[in-house]
Amino acid sequence: MELDNDQCQLLLLHDSKIMQLIDVEVDDFQCLKQIKLEFNGEIGQVLWCGKSSFAIEQKLESSNNLSIYSLEGTSGSSQTEIMENTFNSTFSFSSDARFNTDIDGIRVFTRRSTSLLLPIQDASKSVLGLGSNEPGALLYGSAVDSKLQKQLLKAASIGMRRCQRPYDADKFVRICRLLRVLNALRLMGIPLTFTQLEELSPGQKQFLKNIL
C-alpha cells in the first residue's frame, strides 16, 4: 500500500490484481475506486505518479518496467467506482533501475543517469496537444527545453497583448524568473520542477538563492 504526498488517499493492491483507492480522511475510510489491473511478472513497488495516476513496478528477467495507470474519470457518485482499461503505457528500464516517488512524479535512478517521470499537465496539453484549440497562454515549468520555453513564452506574450480581458503582467514576469532559476539549477545538476521548487522551505529557497 502507498499513501499519497498529501496523506489523504491510499493505494491498496490485492492478490486478485485489484487496486483500491481509499480516502483516509473520513472516519471509517471510504473506497473511492476499484481498478482492475493486467500485468505479468513479479510486482515490485506501487508508486504515486502525481495526484491522478500511479505506477506498478514489474521486475522481469532483463528489465524493470513501470506500468502507468490513470485515476481520472470519476463519476462523482458516492458509490465505489469500478474502473477498467485505465492502463496508459509502460516504460522499460535496465534491471538495475530504482524508483522513488517524488512530489509530482517518479524519480528513476540507474547507474548512468537519473530521470523524472511526470504526468502531462493540462497546460502542456492545451499548448502542445495535437490539434488543440485551447488558449494555453501560460506554462509553468513543464517544458525542460529552454528553446521551447522561449517559443512558448513569446507566444504567451503575444496572447497577453491581444487578450481582451486584463492580465496581470507581474505574474508573467514571475514565471519568467522562475524558469530562469530552474534552468540554472539544471545546469548545476539540480533538476527541480516548478512544483518541487514551490514546496521548498524558506531556508531551502534562501540556500538556492545564495548559490545562484
Three-state secondary structure along 171-189? HHHHHHHHHHHHHHHHHCC
How far is residue 200's CA from residue 208's CA, in Å, rounded to a whole number? 10
Q: Tens of pLDDT along 50-101?
A: 888 888 888 877 788 888 888 876 444 455 556 555 656 788 888 888 898 8
Model confidence at 123, pLDDT cuts 50, 70, 90, reads low
Domains of the chain, residue spans: 8-118, 120-166, 168-211
The DSSP bridge partners found for residue 114 are: 109
Q: Tens of pLDDT along 7-38?
A: 788 888 888 778 888 888 877 788 888 887 77
Cell numbers for 189, please give them.
Answer: 545538476
Average per-residue pLDDT for the chain: 76
Residue scoring higher pLDDT (153 or 77): 153
